[in-house]
Amino acid sequence: MAATSQEIMAAKLFFNAAFPTMQVLLDDDYNLKKKFHNFSGVIQFGARNDGELLCCHMIFDNGKLTVVQGPAEKPDLTLTFSSVGNMVKLFKGGLAMPRIKGDVRMLPKILQLLLGLMIMTKPNDKLKDEGEKALKVKCSLYMITRALSQYNKLGDPDMREFCERQPDRIYQFTVDHNDIPAYIACYLRIKAGKSKSGHGVYKRRTPFVLFHFYSLEGALKVLGKEVEFVEAAEKHYVETVGSPEYALYLNDYMAVLQDMLT
């Protein structure tokens, strides 16, 4: 059975936005950092769709990860699903069995890293310490800004129209923590239909919209959908500086992508 357009979009967003976010886990999660410190290999994820293979491969090089779209020439391990829907199901935390080929000794590490992404959907009251809270916020914001850019690049009509009508604008996200401003920061740049995400504070242009979270706790409540965005502003969890209209537009797209990827 051929995949739906939404399944294909979700798969590509996982490949293009969620998988690169694994680098945050490799940098900031002590256990994963230790496991992958001396690990090298090429791992391919893919799914069959009407006889064609939709896939990407991840190149691990001693703690550094590069995600490349398309098949690898000589992967060390391949995980191939019978359908795109089954692959997306696994990525979202469900159960689906792929066909496994290659060095199966690598599999436990790769699955542990994939499970690490589940921190973005872990209930806030289950986060054991400040480190996990920061990791959830950082992964979530890095992924969603990258996903917003990819949603445009992958051709969603509404997102493309949203981007095409903007000259050159920065949507900045910052999270303060323990009196440290912009403890976590990332941005989305949109310029005449093109888009690009990045980490840190964009310094060459004043943000068109700034999403400023006053604390990790506030960011967690918003990202975990414990409060609606308007209520979050009223409770002083977050403030938006700049165009309120475009802030709401972007928040709507963020909600769509969160539903698609979690």
Going from the N-terminus, what domains does the chain have, and what CATH number goes with each? 5-121 (3.30.1050.10), 156-261 (3.30.1050.10)
Residue 196's contacts (CB-CB under 8 Å, 6 or more residues apart) are 149, 188, 189
Whether 216 and 175 have beta carbons less than 8 Å apart is answered as: yes
Distances (CA, A) of 148 to 76, 85, 140, 221, 239: 31, 21, 12, 20, 20
Take residue 98 and report the two structure tokens written for it. 């792929």
What span, in angstroms and rounded, lies between the C-alpha atoms of 259 and 10? 10
DSSP assigned state of 105: G
Whether 215 and 204 have beta carbons less than 8 Å apart is answered as: no
Take residue 151 and report the two structure tokens written for it. 């949603």
Digitized pLDDT (tens) for each residue of the chain, 262 residues in all: 689 999 999 999 999 999 999 999 999 999 999 999 999 999 999 999 988 999 999 999 999 999 999 999 999 999 999 999 999 999 988 889 999 999 999 999 999 999 999 999 999 999 999 999 999 999 999 999 999 999 999 999 999 999 999 999 999 999 999 999 999 999 999 999 999 999 999 999 999 999 999 999 999 999 988 988 888 888 999 999 999 999 999 989 999 998 899 8
What span, in angstroms and rounded, lies between the C-alpha atoms of 23 and 257? 20
- DSSP letter string, 82-127: SSHHHHHHHHTT---PPEEEE-GGGHHHHHHHHHHGGGGGS-GGG-
What span, in angstroms and rounded, lies between the C-alpha atoms of 150 and 258? 13
